[in-house]
Amino acid sequence: MFTGIIEELGSVAAFTPAAGGGAKLRIACKVVMSDVTPGASIAVNGVCLTAVDLYDDGFGADLAPETLQRSNLGDLRTGDVVNLERPVTPTTRLSGHIVQGHVDATGAVESITDLEGGNWELRVKVPAELDPYLVYKGSITIDGISLTIASLDDSVVKVAIIPHTWEATNLQSRQAGSRVNLECDVLAKHVAKLLGKLTL
């Protein structure tokens, strides 16, 4: 489980397609390696991956065909910047919200607007099937970042980006048309299933 509070910006050291439609991903990073062990989980742009290869300067992970189909990890190229987060421990403050690292779909950035003073407005077009799980002032994870929905109109989610989030994440590298990973609040999914409306 994660919180959506990004710990480090890593970079793609290598992306190698593998047999069967999967791929191997190597990430260069430092902070998240301080206590990692083989088989540990690390969220990359909000996708929970297993660190199967450990290096002095990063880790390697296998990407299943399902992961490539449902997320934007297949778009990664050498040098791309990615958001990284280690899983929570029982004593960690839950500063964001409950994030599983199980991406539901991808959305497309419609706009990123500079509001001055270091603040930004991000608008993302989301697939219609995610709409039942999104509410005003609810939580959504975009590329692994825990964000609050400021408005939801015609399948476009608007979120406010504060200066710290802008500086500490890879949102600076996004532009109109960029594909981003989306994860809805797991509590909303459970409520929807109880009500017989689950579509994911």
Alpha-carbon distance of 53 to 111, in angstroms, equals 37
Q: What is the pLDDT of residue 93?
A: 72
Q: Reply yes or no on whether 64 is catalytic.
A: yes
Quick one: pLDDT at residue 194?
85
| CB-CB contact of 5 with 95 (8 Å) | yes
Compute the average pLDDT of residues 32-42: 94
Domain range annotation of the chain: 8-85, 105-194
Compute the average pLDDT of residues 10-38: 94
3-state helix, strand, coil in the chain (%, to 5): 20, 40, 40
Is 13 a catalytic site residue?
no
Categorize the per-residue pLDDT at 89 as very low, low, confident or very high, splitting at 50, 70 and 90. Answer: confident
Q: What is the pTM of this model?
A: 0.88
Hey, what CATH topology would domain 8-85 get?
A: Elongation Factor Tu (Ef-tu); domain 3 (2.40.30)
Tokens of 121: 């407005």
* 114 contact partners, CB below 8 Å, separation of at least 6: 120
8-85 and 105-194: same fold? yes
Choose which CATH entry (3.90.650.10, 2.40.30.20, 2.60.120.380, 2.60.120.200) describes domain 105-194. 2.40.30.20
Q: Which of 11, 13, 28, 102 is catalytic?
A: 102
Asked whether residue 197 carries a pLDDT value surpassing 70, the answer given is: no
Instruction: Please confirm, yes or no, whether 2 is among the known catalytic residues.
Output: yes
The answer to whether 78 and 14 have CB atoms below 8 angstroms apart is: yes
Q: Which of 14, 28, 40, 41 is catalytic?
A: 41
In tens, the pLDDT along 93-126 reads: 777 788 889 999 999 999 999 998 899 999 999 9
- Long-range contacts of range 153-156, CB-CB < 8 Å, 24 or more positions apart? 155/125, 155/126, 155/127, 155/128, 155/131, 156/110, 156/123, 156/124, 156/125, 156/126
Provide the pLDDT for residue 128.
Answer: 93
